Amino acid sequence: MKIQRTPLTIAQKKYADNLKKIWNKKKQEWRQKGKKLTQERAAEQLGFETQGAISQYLNGKVALNDSTILKFSKFLGCNPGQIKPELDSFINKDIKGKITIKEMSTDDLKTQSIVEWDNAEYLPNGAYAIVPRVVISLSKENGEIVINNNKAGSFAFKSDWLKKKGFKKSNLVCIEFSGDSMRETIKDGALLLINKGEIEINDGKIYCIKYKKELKIKRLYNRFDGGIIMKSDNTIFPEEIATDTEFRENIDVIGQVVWQAGEI
């Protein structure tokens, strides 16, 4: 049975074109130095079983992932950004001047900060889900919850991770936390991923809620009478209790906090 490959995106085809141009240029340079640049030699150096894999990457038959781009850049002695310009943003500017291409590996990418991209189509096709960053507020007219897209941008999460966690992309939003009430766990200014599809309270989990005329991030616990207990991880803040009636009338659960990112 013939395997149907997923067609390359426009961006992926461009990376392949860039690689081939660099390959041809290096091939001429090596020839002038009395050396031969062959696909067989590249396959051996890069850890591929056959030269066929090199040919497929060079001719845009198979998409280049970041790990493979790093391998090629190290072998050819070029900057990975010459193949995929967006990779420059993976490397911290302070680190850039301190390491050489020969010293760089996939581990260097894994340890870097959140990546900013110019266009979501540059991300590997299907590998990431784009989650909007929003501002959650209360309407001044009726106090209802309002979720507005923030022009600060969106964030990318690995699709495999979301699938593993059972998260539905359409239920996810990112918000910025403000305050000291959860500082033992969440610092002021941290970015939070909220799963709006999870509003049933699981004891001890952290939720974003509307409580009367305020928005809060609290650790929630169920009470025997149908009410809830709201706790802050900062013990300076006293716990709050809502009876069953108060819970139904005054509290709306926006979603569960399932991930955070922030400065150390």
- The answer, as to whether pTM is greater than 0.75, is no
Structure tokens that stand for 214 in this block: 């305020």
Per-residue pLDDT of the chain (264 residues; tens, 9 = 90+): 334 456 788 888 899 999 999 999 999 998 888 888 898 888 888 887 778 888 888 988 888 888 788 888 888 888 888 898 877 655 444 444 443 434 444 444 343 333 445 555 555 556 778 888 888 777 776 777 777 776 567 888 888 888 889 999 889 999 988 888 998 899 888 889 999 999 999 999 999 998 888 889 999 999 998 999 999 999 899 999 999 999 999 999 999 999 998 877
**Residue 4 in domain:** no
- Same domain? For 202 and 91 the reply is no
Residue 136 lies inside a defined structural domain of this protein = yes
CATH number at residue 256: 2.10.109.10
37 and 98 in a common domain: yes
End-to-end CA distance of the chain: 52
Provide the pLDDT for residue 151.
Answer: 55
Q: Do 107 and 180 lie in a common domain? A: no
Structural domain contains residue 257: yes
Residue 262 to residues 45, 162, 179, 214, 234: CA-CA distances in angstroms?
A: 39, 20, 13, 23, 17
Is there a single domain that holds both residue 146 and residue 107?
A: no
Q: Report the C-alpha gap between 209 and 198 in whole angstroms.
A: 12
Say if 143 falls within a structural domain. Answer: yes
CATH value at residue 61: 1.10.260.40
> Cβ atoms within 10 A of the Cβ of 257, count?
24
Q: 209 and 179 share a domain? A: yes
Residue ranges making up the domain that contains 61 = 10-112
Domain co-membership, 18 together with 106: yes
Same-domain status, 245 and 147: yes
3-state helix, strand and coil shares in percent for the chain, rounded to the nearest 5? 35, 25, 40
Helix (H) or strand (E) run with residue 39 in it: helix 39-46
| Domains of the chain: total | 2
Query: For residue 233, is it within any domain?
Result: yes
Cα separation, 161 vs 63, in Å, equals 21
> How many angstroms separate the CA atoms of 65 and 8, rounded?
12
Which pLDDT tens digit goes with each residue over 125-170? 567 788 888 887 777 767 777 777 765 678 888 888 888 899 998 8
Residue 121 located in a structural domain: no
Strand order in the sheet with 228-231: 145-158, 128-138, 172-176, 191-195, 251-261, 206-211, 214-222, 228-231, 240-242
Same domain, 144 and 47: no
**pLDDT of res. 233:** 93
pLDDT score, position 98: 42
- Are residues 63 and 146 located together in one domain of the fold? no
Q: Tell me the C-alpha distance between 116 and 159, whole Å.
A: 17
175 domain residue, yes or no: yes
How far, rounded to the nearest angstrom, does the alpha carbon of residue 187 sit from its chain's CA centroid?
20
* Closest CA relative to residue 186, chosen from 117, 238, 232, 239: 232
Burial (Cβ within 10 Å: 0-12, 13-18, ≥19) of residue 242: buried
pLDDT for the residue 121: 53
pLDDT of residue 223: 94
Regarding whether 234 and 137 lie in a shared domain, the answer is yes
